[in-house]
Structure 1
Amino acid sequence: MNSKVKMYLGIVAFILFLGGAYAAYSSLSEKVDPSQGAPINQEVSISQDAEKDSSANKSKLLAADFTVYGTDGTPYKLSDFQGKPVVLNFWASWCPPCREEMPHFNDVYQDHKQDVVFLMVDLVDGQRETEESGINFVQEQGYDFPIYIDKNLQAATIYGVTTIPTTLFIDAEGYVFTGYKGPLKKSTLETVVNSMLKK
């Protein structure tokens, strides 16, 4: 195959890729309310119907285990925290929507840190985000919640995180309660945390 044919095939493949990406973006953007995070999965999202319909329990998904690291290098697994509800937030210091919601997480953490585990997972890729940049950001802002490092993006890969912030709420039994993509309002965060505590 000569180089011109390869070049044309490459251009066609790239155009098809762009078309598919645009179609996916258009489909997703229609469902997103920019004023608050969008539910990740209708089956596990809190909705009025789910609260009224006991058949919503059929949609319970066991949260996959993963390992992240404390700022001192100590490894932690999600399963280490079973027995308490978990707020699992994927973020990075360079991400403006992540920065927007961080004060809300800090406030709700202060109110519920005895009863709820906050896994604030910094997605460290070694380029845009380093351990130092994430730690420095949290310290500079005076946030009290502990942060965890996803050094090899294992947790993000397991959960298919493609945009940040992404937040998953996991109940005390280890099942996904609900999840959102995009920045959360404080009221949404409080409502979901209180719902998990009432279970």
Structure 2
Amino acid sequence: MKRSLGMLVAAGALCGALAGCSDLQGTEGKDYVGGDGQITVIDPADRTAPVEAVGVDLDGEPLATADFVGQVLVANVWWSGCGPCRKEMPVLDQVVTDIGPDAALLGINIRESSPENAKSFLRGIEVDFPSFYDPGGVVLLSFSGDISPRNLPSTAVLDRQGRLAALVRGEINSPVTLRDVIEQIAAEPRPASPSGTDPSPADE
């Protein structure tokens, strides 16, 4: 079951798991479509297979969502030409930092003409976390259509198993609510590892 914090969302209104609900009409020349910033949470029993996104980071080094299994992963889709992204990203960075090693922040940089532009943007807003370099939106395909490259910013929260657990289309309205959602997901029972012990956060 999916539930939207702050506003109940009927299943039919989710537009096929939130994919393709908007078009480029009414974007005021921005070439992207914002969302309402509501956080939609997916109950553990209704989560699908883990997201298996693989690509390269802004330095051309291999990067995968599987690198963060064991942590709650906050994946933020951004572009240097997106004003709300500039405003939101330092807030996201602070929220995840405050939570500690149970959570990690991962960017998905799309539409960028070069990795250098993306790195310059991050330096300008003084944040430092890994990001996929995904100018063609290929990495987004790993999210099975739950994230559209036209909706910026967008944020997906993956549980410790790498499954989509929460989704935000648009700039996040409430950092406090997002932190509560991440902490709630982090507090869920951990799946047993093959050895019978609980997995530890990826960076511990």
Bucket of the pairwise TM-score, normalised by the shorter protein? 0.5 to 0.7
CA distance in 2, matches of 1:102, 1:79: 22
CA 198–139 in structure 1, closer or farther in 2 if over 3 Å, else same:
same
Partner of 2:179: 190
Q: Contact 1:93–1:134 at 8 Å: present in 2 too? A: yes
Structure 2 segments unaligned to the other structure (5+ residues): 1-20, 24-33, 189-204
Partner of 2:9: none
Partner of 1:6: none
Structure 1 segments unaligned to the other structure (5+ residues): 1-23, 27-33, 40-44, 51-55
CA 188–35 in structure 1, closer or farther in 2 if over 3 Å, else same:
farther
CA distance in 1, matches of 2:22, 2:72: 32
Q: Does 1:85 align with 2:72?
A: yes
The aligned length equals 154
Partner of 2:61: 74
Pick which of 173-182 and 105-114 moved more. 105-114
Partner of 1:156: 140
Q: Secondary structure at the match of 2:105?
A: strand
CA RMSD of aligned residues (A): 2.6
CA 25–172 in structure 1, closer or farther in 2 if over 3 Å, else same:
closer
Q: Does 1:172 align with 2:160?
A: yes
* TM-score normalised by length of structure 2: 0.66
Partner of 2:123: 139
Deviation at 1:25, TM superposition (A): 4.6
Q: Secondary structure at the match of 2:51?
A: coil
Q: Contact 1:85–1:116 at 8 Å: present in 2 too? A: yes
Identical residues among aligned pairs (%): 24
Bigger Rg, structure 1 or 2: 1
Q: Secondary structure at the match of 2:129?
A: coil
Deviation at 1:125, TM superposition (A): 4.5
More helix by share: 1
Matches within 5 A, 1:63-142: 63-126=50-113, 130-142=114-126
Q: Secondary structure at the match of 1:71?
A: coil
Deviation at 1:35, TM superposition (A): 9.3
Deviation at 1:113, TM superposition (A): 4.5
Q: Contact 2:96–2:179 at 8 Å: present in 1 too? A: no
Deviation at 1:103, TM superposition (A): 1.9
CA 57–157 in structure 1, closer or farther in 2 if over 3 Å, else same:
closer
CA 125–99 in structure 1, closer or farther in 2 if over 3 Å, else same:
closer
**Which amino acid in 2 is paired with 1:134?**
A
Q: Secondary structure at the match of 1:61?
A: coil
1:22-72: CA deviations, max 9, x gaps? xx659xxxxxxx895134xxxxx33xxx7xxxxx44311223312132232
